[in-house]
Chain A
């Protein structure tokens, strides 16, 4: 276990290093931030001063090496726009995105697994076909459109839920700010979370259905029935524990996706998270923030992969961590 984790962390470091190079050179190619940062009427001297203060006068490899040495100290550079450390900017907004992503994840699990199991147990029933059709809609309807429709229906027409923002009452739990301790916070997070969850919900439903259909025909399920177990026990213990293995894998990886690509949802619902920060930073070519954002996401994915492997070994006794190709 320990050896496994250490080996995994060393690999993670390598991945992060390679990613940093790709990200840094990619952003370097995208455009020259001075065009946006320096006022149009600035003279040559002022211009040169700004460029020098941002370190943009140095050649690429010097800039990259400087970035690396500073990154090793935990400094991912200062935002050109906000004049604040880029890391701090992201960490300030990360809790909001996490909150949204966790709420969306919960919705996907709580509704997706039961729906998938129901559809998998009776694949020919009308309600199963209804569930599967619904999941196709969830897959194919564009997120931004669904978001707008949700706002139109629940905020504008019915007036049940607020359409934007995160709620005002922020409480601190172990140093992390969250709005989920109040009803107001939940009412704010519900619409964007449903919007963000829709795609994953469909994925989980389909996965749980496929798993159920496969598992119910296994001999061990028939043997469990031959033992005289009730249907509830067969489904909730024998079937469910087996289908959780693929579901956990996908959910673990998809959670990274939820955090990273909540951009659209955050933009529609004006959710003050990192997705919105990223869009703004790209618009302003705020290079350090973009780089810092991508580095954080890379770390998040590496971490989630590790967690999924550990969950594997807990769910499936046949898997031992030493055996996973690390």
Chain B
């Protein structure tokens, strides 16, 4: 990378809203983060917290009635939040690639794998079919698909789920992108396959210097993979810091709740911890802090929406009553109440 001071991607105060008949849904509301070459950013949150919409916003793939209404998306310094359709098309798949959640659904069922790979190359480069085919074969081998030549002639339904996700990853890697947005790519796979894919993705990022945004609800995946972590709740980033800091020492009660929800061998026999209640509907968020209805530390200040503070060094937290290091060290049952 020529200039590693410039982040591969910087998102500043991104707002993506959906204008539905029932009202405006603020799916992403004031989200900021950045990733540098070779870095992995974990974007963590429950379903409906706005992580996937954040990913689609970066690629300019937000469907109607959604729209990026505010903020900046800087790709190597260029603001692409309102770039033209053609500029976005050229970036997609070439500079910024995406891997989707469900490998069963991401490949077109009626087109052969080679068709779907070659078109991804030819959309960006004027190369012959043979050359594109050769590169596709190499990409399949890179992600560990045996007999790549034969597999290229197959249809998606002839692959297992793990193999399909490998194909999708191979397609994302085809044009050597600078940034990959991975939207829960291992959620639909079983644990051993998940491990293999994580290992390979990590290796590829290190080798090629590709930056990665890894969207997931699984903290254990992020713990092993990411450098930094953004915890999202109801369309907002509630905590942001390096992965070790945040996981060892969470400052936001929601992050603490998520960590305590991970089943652990050390707490055998005890009832599994959970965060009570559900993510609030984005259509009518409670006034003030959106987490207050589920929060064990709720207090009078929570009626006012918290701004970002830095209770710990190098940490962004959106909470009036952040957890201090001493409290978090002993996971209490208060989040389970």
**Separation of A224 and B109 alpha carbons in the complex (Å):** 12
List of A residues within 8 angstroms of B59 by Cβ: 226
For chain B, residues 140 to 175, give those with C-beta under 8 angstroms from any C-beta of chain A. Answer: 155, 157, 168, 171
Tell me, in angstroms, the Cα distance from A242 to B107 when the chains sit together: 12
Q: Is A229 in contact with chain B by the CB < 8 A criterion?
A: yes
With an 8 A cutoff between CB atoms, is B97 at the interface?
Answer: yes
A241 within 8 A of B: yes
**With A228-B90, A228-B93, A233-B119 in contact, do A316 and B110 touch (Cβ < 8 Å)?**
yes
The residue on A at minimum CB distance from B154 is A317
User: Which residue on chain A has the smallest CB distance to residue B56?
Assistant: A222
Question: Smallest CB-CB separation from A223: which chain B residue?
Answer: B106
Cα separation A237 to B109 with both chains bound (whole Å): 12
- Residues of A whose CB lies within 8 Å of any CB of B are 217-230, 233, 237-238, 241-242, 245, 315-318
Closest CB in chain B relative to A269 CB, distance in Å: 40
B308 on the A face (CB < 8 A) = no
17 CB-based A-B contacts, threshold 8 Å: A219-B100, A220-B106, A220-B108, A223-B100, A223-B106, A225-B61, A226-B100, A227-B92, A227-B171, A228-B124, A229-B89, A230-B89, A242-B109, A245-B110, A316-B109, A317-B109, A317-B112
Interface set, chain B 253-291, CB cutoff 8 A to A: none
The CA of A229 and the CA of B61, in the complex, are separated in Å by 12
B36 smallest CB distance to A (angstroms): 22
CA distance A218 to B94 in the complex (A): 22
Q: A226-B92, A241-B111 are in contact. Are A220 and B120 (CB under 8 A)?
A: no
Residue in A closest to B89 when the chains form the complex, CB atoms: A228
Number of A-B contacts (CB under 8 A): 78
Tell me which of A218, A219, A237, A245 has the highest count of chain B C-beta atoms within 10 A of its own C-beta.
A219
Contacts of A317 in B (CB 8 A): 109-110, 112, 155, 157
CA distance in complex: A219, B61 (Å):
12
Does B197 sit at the interface, judged by CB under 8 A?
A: no
- Chain A residues lying within 8 Å of B110, measured Cβ to Cβ, are 241-242, 245, 315-317
A228: chain B residues at CB < 8 Å are 89-94, 120, 123-124
With known contacts A228-B89, A228-B90, A223–B111 Cβ distance under 8 A: no
Which residues from chain B sit less than 8 Å from chain A, CB to CB?
59, 61, 63, 89-94, 97-98, 100-102, 105-112, 116, 119-120, 123-124, 155, 157, 168, 171
Q: Which residues of A contact B61 (CB under 8 A)?
A: 222, 225-226
CB distance from A236 to the nearest CB of B (A): 12
Task: Return the contact of A223 from the options B90, B91, B107 (Cβ within 8 A).
Answer: B107
Give bound CA distance, A224 to B123, whole Å.
Answer: 11
C-alpha spacing A228/B88, complex, angstroms? 8
**Docked-complex contact A318 and B109, CB < 8 angstroms:** yes
Which residues from chain B contact A226 at a C-beta distance below 8 Å?
59, 61, 92-93, 97-98, 100
Residue of B nearest to A240 (CB): B110
Separation of A242 and B156 alpha carbons in the complex (Å): 14
Cα A284 to Cα B120 in complex, Å, equals 66
Question: In the bound complex, do residue A229 and residue B119 qualify as a contact, i.e. CB atoms below 8 Å apart?
Answer: yes
Residues of A within 8 A of B171 (CB): 227
Q: Measured between alpha carbons, how far is A241 from B116 in the docked complex, in Å?
A: 13
